[in-house]
Amino acid sequence: MEAIIEIFKAYNGTGYYCILFIIALIYLWFTEEDKRIKALLVYAPTLIQIVFFVPYFYMIYDRLDEGTYYRILWLLPMTVVIAYAGCRVIGVHTRIGLALLSAILVMSGTYVYKSVYMTPAENAYHLPQEVVDICEMIKPEEGKERVWAVVPTDLAHYIRQYTTTIQLAYGRDSMVQSWKRLENPLYDIYLEPVIDLGELSKYATEYNCNYVVIDKERILEGGTPEEHELARIGATTNYDVYRNLKVDFFDAEE
């Protein structure tokens, strides 16, 4: 039951929209006369809400699709119920009602474009421009074999959204702690505040990486890149891009 309550709290965040929804539901419960609207917008959501809190239901659902139990709450037509009850409650005072309820909705909610996950788009791909620049540096020419690269963790999500001709030594499946993640020594190296170039070079070569990208601010130890046959071929504002000379391209002989 605690887990369900945690999911409910996490879903509703500040909780104000949830409170408005419950108030709207109660209001419609007592005032709505249309049987069909009452059934679909009052009784059914109430029943779904009750089922949501049943621990056995949670256990069964979690077995079917682990970690997505919050989606049951998508079935509650919160937006429709709040908006409809709002329209009903303002009666004939539409101007003041619209202004007042709009203000309540604005103050109760959280502005989506202030989210930490939102940033101004730097290009039509909506990928960081540095990712595009790095990909342009290392992607194979048209008709050539795909290349392998290893990149810092903050770039790993993006690279293959630009081009799949660049393959990665580790990806998101090694990064998400809650998954049965794939162990990858290169990912572990990039997690360290200090990067041992000897280790990085060794594993990059073992994983056939033609290119290695390193965060400029990261402290490097264990010699210089040149000593490990990492030739700097370019840079962006925050990253250095190296060609790993120990690994030939797949179609090098052609």
Q: List the interface residues with another protein, window 48-77 (CB under 8 A).
A: 48, 51, 61, 64-65, 68, 70-75, 77
* Under rule CB under 8 A, residue 98 binds another protein: yes
Report the sign of the C-alpha dihedral through residues 45, 49, 51, 56, in that order.
Answer: positive
* R_g (Cα) of the chain, nearest Å: 27
Whether the CB-CB separation of 111 and 14 falls below 8 Å is answered with no
* Under rule CB under 8 A, residue 31 binds another protein: no
Residue type, 66: E
* Under rule CB under 8 A, residue 102 binds another protein: yes
* Under rule CB under 8 A, residue 180 binds another protein: no
Query: Of the candidates 143, 155, 145, 128, which has an alpha carbon nearest to the alpha carbon of residue 212?
Result: 155
Among 5, 161, 221, 233, binds another protein (CB under 8 A): 161
* Under rule CB under 8 A, residue 181 binds another protein: no
* Under rule CB under 8 A, residue 101 binds another protein: yes
Cα(137)–Cα(196) distance, integer angstroms: 24
Q: Interface mask (CB under 8 A) for another protein, residues 186-225, using x and -? A: ----------------------------------------
Among 3, 26, 59, 79, binds another protein (CB under 8 A): 79
DSSP-assigned letter for residue 226: G
Which residues in 225-244 contact another protein (CB under 8 A)? none
* Under rule CB under 8 A, residue 41 binds another protein: yes
Q: How many CA atoms lie within 13 A of 233 on its CB side?
A: 18
